[in-house]
Every structure is written in C-alpha cells, then in structure tokens.
C-alpha cells in the first residue's frame, strides 16, 4: 500500500471541509465563549484543557487516536498559533513540564527565546546613553529573541511521541487553509492593540485589519495561507526550514524593520538549542509542588511563597482576609528575592539557598499578622552567591497561554507558551507573529554601581514568570496547572494551588476564585468580584490597594480517584474536554 503524500492528504481534507460547508472549520465556534461560568469536565481516560476550543479539539483527537501527551501538545500549540495568535506560537518560546508515567520521571524543558550573539548590556539604550521606554523597545525587530517553541515541540516529540510528526500539524494546516471565524477574545485583542501600533507594519496590518483600517471583528472569516505554507514545510522537514532554511531567512529579513531594527542572524537561529533542566520541587504539607527553574522565576518564587505560608494554618482560615494578608506578605518577600537574584543560570550564579527551609522560616518571621510591611527587601540566603547584583524592576506584561494535557497512558504535559506581550513585536512573517521577548530583560544594565542579574547579554535567555506546575502526592501526579498573565502568573498559579490543596476546592472553583495579587508593591484586587469586597479590611492592615481587571488564563487538570477533572478559566474562552 502506498501512503499518500502530505500534499495529497491536505488536499483531500480541504475538499472534504469545503464540500461540507466548511464544517471542519466551524466545529467548535459555538462550544464556549469568554466570561461564561464553566463547570468541571470529568473524563476517565484522557483530557486537554487549553485556551481555545479548536485547540482542545485538535489535542483530544490526537489522544483519541492513541497519541501521547507529547503528540497532543504539538497539535494544540499549532492550533493556538492560528486561532490565538496574539498569545503564543512558533515565533515565541515556552517552558514544558513532562511527566513520563512509564519511568515515573518528571522532565522539564527550556524552550525560552535567546538574545542574539551580538547583544550587549546596552542593547536597549538610546542615543542619549539611557534605556529607552518600554513600548519604544517593544515595537519592531529589536525586541525579537531567537524563538524556541518549535524546537521544543520537536525535541519532546522525538523523545515521547508516538504519532507521525506531520500528522500532528494537519489540523492547523487545514484550518489555516479553509479559514476560521475570529473569536470575541481575538477581536477585542486586535481592537485594543491598534493604539499600541499593531497596524504599524504592512504584513500585520493586512492580516488583522480591514482595508479601511478598522480592526477585523468577531465572526469575520480569516484564512492564513502563508502560515499553512510554513507548516507544510515544517510537517515535511521538521524544524530545519525554520532554523536554517527559507523560513529562517524570512525571519532574519523581517526583524530588519525600518523602525527599531533587530540584530538576529542566521547563525543565531541555527545555534538555538532546547535545554533539559532539573525541576524545582518543594514539599508543601503532604504534597510536592514542582515547577520550572531559571531562566523562569516561576518555580523558585512559587516555592518560596508556599514554604513561607506552610508556617501558617491556611486550611482552617479559608479564603479570608487573614489568609489573603499572609499570602500578600509572603509574595512581597518572594518577589524581592526574585528581583535581586533570579535570571538565566547559564550566566548568573543564583544562590542555592533560596528554597532552604530555615532561610524561609526566617523570612516568614518578618510577616506581621496584624500589619502590612512596606516594600520588602531581599534576604541573604545560605550559600549566597559571590556575585553582587542590584534589584531588577522589569515587569513582564500580560500575554501568553497555557495548556494542560493528560493522556491515556498517564503521561502529563503542563506547558506555558508565549510571544510575550499581546501580539509580540508586531512583526509578522510567514503568517505568524514574532516575539518581543527581549524586553523581559532589564533595559538598564546596572544600578547603584552593581550589575542587574537580568541584564541583556549575548545568547542569554531573559527571565520569565511562567509557572507550569505539576503537583504530586505520594509520588503520583495529582494536578497539572499554569496560566498566562505576565509577572502576575506566579500569584495566579500559587493561589489556585492553595485553593485546591488547603481549601479543598474543586479545580474549576479554584481557578475562578477572585484574584489577589502582589508583586512587592501595591496589592491588586480583581474588579467586580468578591476580592474587591476585601478592600477596606486590607487597607486597615496597611495595604495599598488597587482594584483592576485581572485576566488570568488558568488551565488545570486534577487527577483524583482514577478520574480526570478538567477546568478552564471562565475569564477567557478556553475549555476542557476529554474521553
């Protein structure tokens, strides 16, 4: 039997979709919408929770055909790139936790973007010798780091996949060719980003805006043949076209924008590598909470918050003002250490004692249960690095996406993926947006005569807050969770983990619970929710309060009594589904 070629398969699928009134492209448009209160989804075999129904369907179809969580991750990410392009894609980077059920091994993969080899600590300095403003740094090719998401997916698939690589890209290819309707969230994002120069570059403007310059609206039919072409090449030849072939050449040309040109070269792209790093795990009560280590600060900062709070009886407090006060104070202390110490460990010697229990007990003793501290100072952990730094005040902007997957073999993916701020650098090539990840570095190189750990350096990976997490009990996985949200991600995920572990909440209730966020400054309370009702009581304790919209995108799967309970953040348009 002769297996049909990729082009033949796609052609047959396209003909089928077209003949049926584009049914394939429309199968999930009415499944769920943003801001609809969801209920947990229960399955016995496998499950996907992700930020868009189409992406979930693509992943579940892979799992139902016998694929692994690694296989499904490829299909989910490629579809997210198409239908949620403002948040993630092959033009960006990602971190993945992978639980290998057969070997009972937790693996963590670093697919974070890298600075070009030509970068220096003065990379974002203006003509006056001072750091440029953040938005002036974002827009254009200069903020683009070497993308890592595609290489990450290929690497993990080669280790843990079962299905042919090319088959996993077919759903995104077909949907890009046939088209899909713009979701309400994407439409709102396009309109909101217009004033932030989304329409500055011709390629991006032509894709997201009408000929009269107005943003494309929800329900508009959108096709992306350029992305389909790129995915066809990647389906046939793997990541090679992207890192050393035609697509690579197009990326290098695209970043040479007239406005804020970048410095990426073909050598930068060809030299990119995925790094397998040790997981960061902390014991929390009867559980092990595991996350990703640097260059993301997520695992370490979450671990610090939890270990400080372990000294208090949160289970008996419930989600009360008393508990939120402790959460806020622990977050202040952890974010202070984050700002001073955390960066790419290939360039910075991070103190090993940041998760030392005695150190964190000492830090927790700084928490006054009756009064808020002002801005916290970093501590001096054991085995303090001989290197001395000045704190970094760089705050990552909200963007990003997260998905959680459990397959029928017990393997698990928890992956947070991003192009940084919404729509990244605004530079688009081959139908996908390029990241602005280099603005996650400190634009300043030093302060008070000391270098900043997260300063720009050649081939360095910028610090992140992404916090893909897997929680274990008795050495068996029980929660896969993560969220977008910039530097607030750590708060979102930690709050949800506490709600499940300490307060006994079901995953959907834990995710939807109103947000309380502190990044070592004022405290954010989620507007139009019960959190805002705590404002007066928290202010009496000395907290500076700001009430604002806090749009997380938490996606979780809880494993309990041999069943899977999936949850998707009601603040967005994702779903959980399984079989």
Is residue 462 within 8 Å of residue 468, measured between CB atoms?
A: no
Is 400 an active-site residue?
A: yes
**Alpha-carbon radius of gyration of the chain:** 23
- The neighbouring-strand residues paired with 287 are 284
H-type alpha helices, 128-224 = 134-138, 149-160, 165-178, 184-193, 202-208
How many angstroms separate the CA atoms of 339 and 241, rounded?
38
Task: Name residue, tokens 């393997």.
Answer: 411
Give the angle subtended at the CA of 455 by the CAs of 120 and 275, to the nearest 5°: 90
Q: Which residues of 434-457 are buried (b: 16+ CB within 10 A; e: fewer)?
A: bbbbbbbbbbbbeeeeebbbbbbb
Contacts of 129 (CB under 8 A, 6+ apart): none
Is residue 253 within 8 Å of residue 201, measured between CB atoms?
A: no
How many angstroms separate the CA atoms of 162 and 68, rounded?
6
Which one is catalytic: 68, 400, 469, 523? 400
> What region, left, alpha or beta, does residue 129 occupy, with left being phi > 0 and alpha being psi -120 to 50 degrees?
left
Contacts of 333 (CB under 8 A, 6+ apart): 304, 308, 363, 364, 366, 367, 376, 379, 520
Q: What is the DSSP secondary-structure string of 316-337? A: HH-SSHHHHHHHHHHHHHHHHH
Give the angle subtended at the CA of 16 by the CAs of 14 and 17, to the nearest 5°: 65
- The neighbouring-strand residues paired with 107 are 98
Is residue 124 within 8 Å of residue 443, measured between CB atoms?
A: yes
Q: Which of 573, 575, 577, 576 is nearest to 186 (CA)?
A: 573
**Pairing relation of β-strands 545-548 and 523-526?**
parallel
Half-sphere exposure of 412 (CA within 13 A, CB side): 31
C-alpha pair distances (Å), 483 with each of 245, 422, 556: 33, 15, 9
Residue 20 φ then ψ, to 5°:
-95, 25
Neighbours of 542 (CB within 10 A): 13
Task: Name residue, tokens 């080899």.
Answer: 117
Is residue 109 within 8 Å of residue 274, measured between CB atoms?
A: yes
Catalytic residue IDs = 400
């Amino acid at each position: 039997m002769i297996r049909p070629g990729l082009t033949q398969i796609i052609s047959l699928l396209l003909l089928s979709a077209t003949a049926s009134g584009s049914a394939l492209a429309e199968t999930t448009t009415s499944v769920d919408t943003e801001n609809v209160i969801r209920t947990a989804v229960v399955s016995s075999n496998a499950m996907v929770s992700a930020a868009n129904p189409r992406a979930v369907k693509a992943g579940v179809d892979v799992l139902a055909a016998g694929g692994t969580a690694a296989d499904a991750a490829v299909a989910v990410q490629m579809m997210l790139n198409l239908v949620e392009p403002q948040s993630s894609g092959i033009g960006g980077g990602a971190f993945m936790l992978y639980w290998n059920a057969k070997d009972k091994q937790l693996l963590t993969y670093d697919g974070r973007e890298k600075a070009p080899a030509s970068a220096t600590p003065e990379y974002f300095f203006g003509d006056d010798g001072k750091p440029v403003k953040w938005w002036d740094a974002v827009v254009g090719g200069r903020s683009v780091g070497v993308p890592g998401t595609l290489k990450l997916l290929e690497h993990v698939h080669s280790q843990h996949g079962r299905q042919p690589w090319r088959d996993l890209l077919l759903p995104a290819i077909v949907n890009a060719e046939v088209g899909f309707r713009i979701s309400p969230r994407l439409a709102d994002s396009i309109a909101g980003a217009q004033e932030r120069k989304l329409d500055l570059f011709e390629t991006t403007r032509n894709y997201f805006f009408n000929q009269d310059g107005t943003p494309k609206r929800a329900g508009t039919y959108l096709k992306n043949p350029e992305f389909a072409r790129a995915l066809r090449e990647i389906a046939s030849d793997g990541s090679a076209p992207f890192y050393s072939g035609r697509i690579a050449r197009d990326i290098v040309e695209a970043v040479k924008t007239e406005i804020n040109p970048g410095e990426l070269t073909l050598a930068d792209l060809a030299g990119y590598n995925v790094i397998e790093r040790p997981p960061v795990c902390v014991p929390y009560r009867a559980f092990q909470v595991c996350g990703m280590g640097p260059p993301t600060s997520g695992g370490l900062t979450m671990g610090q918050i939890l270990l400080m709070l372990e000294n208090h009886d949160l289970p008996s407090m419930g989600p009360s003002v008393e508990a939120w006060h402790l959460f806020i104070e622990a977050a202040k202390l952890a974010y202070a250490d984050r700002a001073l110490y955390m960066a790419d460990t290939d360039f910075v010697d991070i103190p090993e004692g940041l998760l030392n229990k005695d150190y964190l007990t000492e830090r927790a003793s700084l928490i006054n249960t009756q009064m808020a501290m002002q801005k916290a100072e970093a501590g001096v952990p054991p085995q303090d690095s001989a290197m001395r730094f000045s704190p970094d005040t760089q705050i990552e902007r909200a963007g990003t996406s997260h998905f959680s997957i459990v397959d029928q073999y017990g393997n698990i993916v928890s992956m947070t993926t991003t192009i940084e701020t919404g729509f990244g650098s605004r530079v688009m090539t081959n139908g996908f947006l390029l990241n602005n990840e280099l603005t996650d570095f400190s634009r300043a190189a030093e302060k008070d005569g000391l270098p900043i750990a997260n300063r720009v350096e050649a081939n360095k990976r910028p610090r992140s807050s992404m916090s893909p997490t897997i929680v274990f009990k008795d050495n068996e996985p029980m929660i896969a969770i993560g969220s977008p949200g910039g530097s607030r991600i750590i708060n979102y995920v930690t709050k949800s983990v506490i709600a499940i572990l300490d307060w006994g909440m079901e995953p959907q209730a834990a995710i939807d619970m109103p947000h309380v966020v502190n990044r070592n400054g004022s405290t954010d309370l989620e507007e139009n929710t019960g959190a805002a009702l705590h404002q007066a009581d928290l202010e009496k304790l000395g907290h500076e309060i700001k009430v604002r919209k806090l749009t997380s995108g938490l996606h979780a799967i809880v494993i309990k009594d041999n069943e899977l309970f999936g949850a998707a953040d009601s603040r967005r348009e994702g779903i959980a589904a399984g079989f």
